[in-house]
Amino acid sequence: MGVRPHLTGTAPDQPHLAVARRSEMPLRTIHDGPKAIALTIDDGPDPVYTPQVLALLARYRVTATFSMIGIEAQAHPAVAREVAAAGHLIVNHTWTHLNLAWLPPAMVTEQMSRATDAIHAATGRFPRLFRAPYGAWSPFVLSQCSRTGMAPLGWSVDPRDWSRPGVTAIVTNIMRNTRTGSIILEHDGGGNRSQTVAALKIVIPRLLAAGYHFRTP
């Protein structure tokens, strides 16, 4: 998959969600007590970078949330199973990472359902959360989340690591903008993610040292 820009959504903060309802907007913060934050990893699974991220998370005993693209889960089922076996949360991130706001309802439905099927085939799990590519939400996408029992998941801290701005820039952005309840957006797929891995090696211990603890939405 090529490099893809991510557009931060503008949905208001919402409480912790278990199942999506039609009226709900994407979750952009978590509510799990002081210093609770969430780390989300998008666009995998990737055979090169996902194992590196998993090793780092295991080292620091951090549980993260992986938003998987269906076609990547189908192509790399063993890597997807590694994520599941490590106890991380898995999110539906569509079949091929298209902008759903530009698609007709039938294609939106297909993008979501095929990803669910691929993730389930690879990991044995049915995702209970959905993240729209580019943060591009529409009334139909949100209603489809409700119909399929997947809560819509956004983010609140975006260091734009997909653009490879440099390790220092990624680290500085995360440390400057993270606070209680933050949902941090990072990537293990969609291109060369060596900067992301290097940045996570720095920010995870720094955040832990600052008293933050990682949770899943």
Give me the CATH number covering residue 123: 3.20.20.370
Q: Is 90 exceeded by the pLDDT of residue 46?
A: yes
Counting the structural domains of the chain, the total is 1
205-209: long-range contacts, CB 8 A cutoff, minimum separation 24: 205/60, 206/171, 206/175, 207/37, 207/174, 207/175, 207/178, 208/60, 208/62
Tell the burial category of 124 from Cβ atoms under 10 Å away from its Cβ (0-12, 13-18, 19+). Answer: exposed
- What does the pLDDT look like over 150-201, one tens digit per residue? 999 999 999 999 999 999 999 999 999 999 999 999 999 999 999 999 999 9
For residue 105, the enclosing domain spans: 36-214
Q: How many residues does the structure list for the chain?
A: 217
Q: Please report whether residue 12 resides in a domain.
A: no
Asked whether residue 100 carries a pLDDT value surpassing 50, the answer given is yes
- Kindly state whether residue 6 falls inside one of the protein's structural domains: no
Of the pLDDT bands very low, low, confident and very high (cuts 50, 70, 90), residue 10 is very low
Quick one: 77 exposed, middle or buried, by C-beta within 10 A (0-12, 13-18, 19+)?
Answer: middle
105 assigned to some structural domain: yes
In a domain, 20, yes or no: no
Active site residue 187: yes
Establish if 1 belongs to a structural domain: no
Q: Is residue 84 part of a domain?
A: yes
Q: What is the pLDDT of residue 24?
A: 78
Compute, in degrees rounded to 10, the torsion defined by CA atoms 141, 20, 183, 213. Answer: -160
Is 41 a domain residue? yes
Catalytic residue among 76, 93, 97, 187: 187
Mean pLDDT, the chain, rounded, equals 91
Q: Is residue 159 assigned to a domain?
A: yes
The residue from 6, 42, 93, 188 that is catalytic is 42
Closest CA to 43 of 75, 18, 12: 75
